[in-house]
Amino acid sequence: MTDRMLSNFKPALCRLSAFILIAVSLGCTPEPESWGTLAQEQKPAGEATVAVPRPVRFDLPVPQLSDTQKPLFYAGRALAQQPWVKAPTATTQRDGLGPLFNARSCLACHLNGGRGEMPDKAGESLFTAFVRISVPGLDEHEGANPEPVYGTQIQNQSVSLSSQLGIPPQPGELQAEAHVSVRWLEEKFRYPDGHETVLRKPEIVIRDLSNGPLQSDTMMSLRNAPGMYGMGLLAAIPEQSLDALADPQDKNSDGISGRRNQVWDPVSQSIRAGRFGLKANRPDLPVIVAAAFAHDIGITNALFPHQPCTQAQPLCLKQPDGNDEEGTELSNNLLNMTVNFVRDSAVPASRLGEQHIAGRQVFYDAGCQQCHQPSFVTAGLPGAEYLGQQTIWPYTDLLLHDMGPGLADGRPDFLATGSEWRTAPLWGLGLQRKVTGGRLSLLHDGRARSVEEAVLWHGGEAAAARNYFIQLPMVQRRELEIFVEAL
């Protein structure tokens, strides 16, 4: 019997307190009917939870780190925070930026370890977001097929002085690949009760392409930076727990057909289940961190040893690099230090209280928990055994789900179709407002400025939950929003 089948019996199973521990380990979450359950969720990362800091930030260490481990965490944070510079310089540990890039450091996009912030003004350059591109077909590892000239990502900055100053380039200077911005297209949505709200969706605007036009059949996907916190705990969820939730053929006929992506792992040189990335296109923390260094900052490493230049960009290929004696710009030691910083970044405590019981009930009644799986029990990670045996409440199943045409980018990535996205974790979501001046930029492209907008964009497998939400009285809709923002 699968966990999806077990979910039909949740009310009977989970009211039996003697079986609560077993139920949680199987992915069955107790019904939201008691304050005791909410009290457990006040520590969403178990012993890896930290008190909400003032000012709010998401790049603090898990409490279990020893006095000898904490300096290494802060060294990794410094590496993620300090900007890289153009090679060659005397700062050999931090040179090699670009020559094409989107950001100078990790935390330039992941603000204080949290999400990025999308610009509201039309024409304003993207800073914490970028555009992935590809053309029909598959690459040698059955992943996204690079656009022949510009690769798989538009880098909107270059190391040239003109690019940094925003002035016309001099002859022979390397230009940024393009200027990228968004134009927001707004539409009104009217509830059955007469209440109206405004939704927006982005139109990608690309101009000043440095090497000629994109191939005519290029597929584009706008991506806003997600939060980095709690990723070590997500990595510690056992494979079998995720496999048990997958139901790609919807055998239990509940309308939910989550599945795991199957992606290329450059370490093992094999296909593995995907877990990280907005389309679950990376298998583990080392790969997603190394890929971000190479593609977002232009820093080569052992896993991604090539500069972000294609053979159609000879001026880019001629630029000096910051390679060390190992032939890369980021040593394995510094890569591991950054990976461990990401792994050991804690999750802030939730703000849940008795006032959120009603909203939690609405969340379950709508069926949101069918994809936003509330709870898991973690296993240990090599070198981070302290992350094991924690009952965590991330509200994600880390699976791919078809979210319908409204959120589709039309760009496949390994097995993920153009309308499939990995379920986003919800923990810490509301605290993002404290980092970005009261604003939220939710969903893969940052279009949703509130939980309400995010829900209204749900379709596909989530259409039933969306329709349930739409029919609710305004008071109950607001209760659900308040609950989610308190996680």
Burial class (CB in 10 A: 0-12, 13-18, 19+), 185: exposed
- pLDDT at residue 9, as a whole number: 38
For the chain, how big is the Rg over CA atoms in Å? 22
Per-position pLDDT tens, the chain of length 487 = 444 433 443 333 333 333 333 333 334 444 554 455 788 899 999 999 999 999 999 999 999 999 999 999 999 999 999 999 999 988 778 899 999 999 999 999 999 999 999 999 988 999 999 999 999 999 999 999 999 999 999 999 999 988 888 888 888 899 999 999 999 999 999 999 999 999 999 999 999 999 999 999 999 999 999 999 999 999 999 999 999 999 999 999 999 999 999 999 999 999 999 999 999 999 999 999 999 999 999 999 999 999 999 999 999 999 999 999 889 999 999 999 999 999 999 999 999 999 999 999 999 999 999 999 999 999 989 999 999 999 999 999 999 999 999 999 999 999 999 999 999 999 999 999 999 999 999 999 999 999 999 999 999 999 999 999 999 999 999 999 999 999 9
- pLDDT at residue 31, as a whole number: 52
Alpha carbons 435 and 114: distance in angstroms, whole number: 8
Backbone angles phi, psi at 381, to 5 degrees: -110, 145
Query: Residue 61: beta bridge partners?
Result: 345
- pLDDT at residue 1, as a whole number: 42
- For 46, the token pair is 């178990």
Nearest-10 crossing angle of helices 285-292, 332-343: 120
- pLDDT at residue 26, as a whole number: 38
- pLDDT at residue 36, as a whole number: 56
Alpha carbons 377 and 25: distance in angstroms, whole number: 5
Q: Which helix (H) or strand (E) holds 468?
A: helix 463-471
- Burial call 456-474: b when 16+ CB within 10 Å, e when fewer: bbbbbbbeebbebbeebee
Alpha carbons 113 and 230: distance in angstroms, whole number: 10
- pLDDT at residue 219, as a whole number: 98
- pLDDT at residue 18, as a whole number: 34
Closest CA to 231 of 144, 410, 106: 106
- pLDDT at residue 389, as a whole number: 97
Contacts of 25 (CB under 8 A, 6+ apart): 241, 377
Alpha carbons 255 and 47: distance in angstroms, whole number: 35
Backbone angles phi, psi at 70, to 5 degrees: -60, -40
Closest CA to 154 of 112, 121, 182: 182
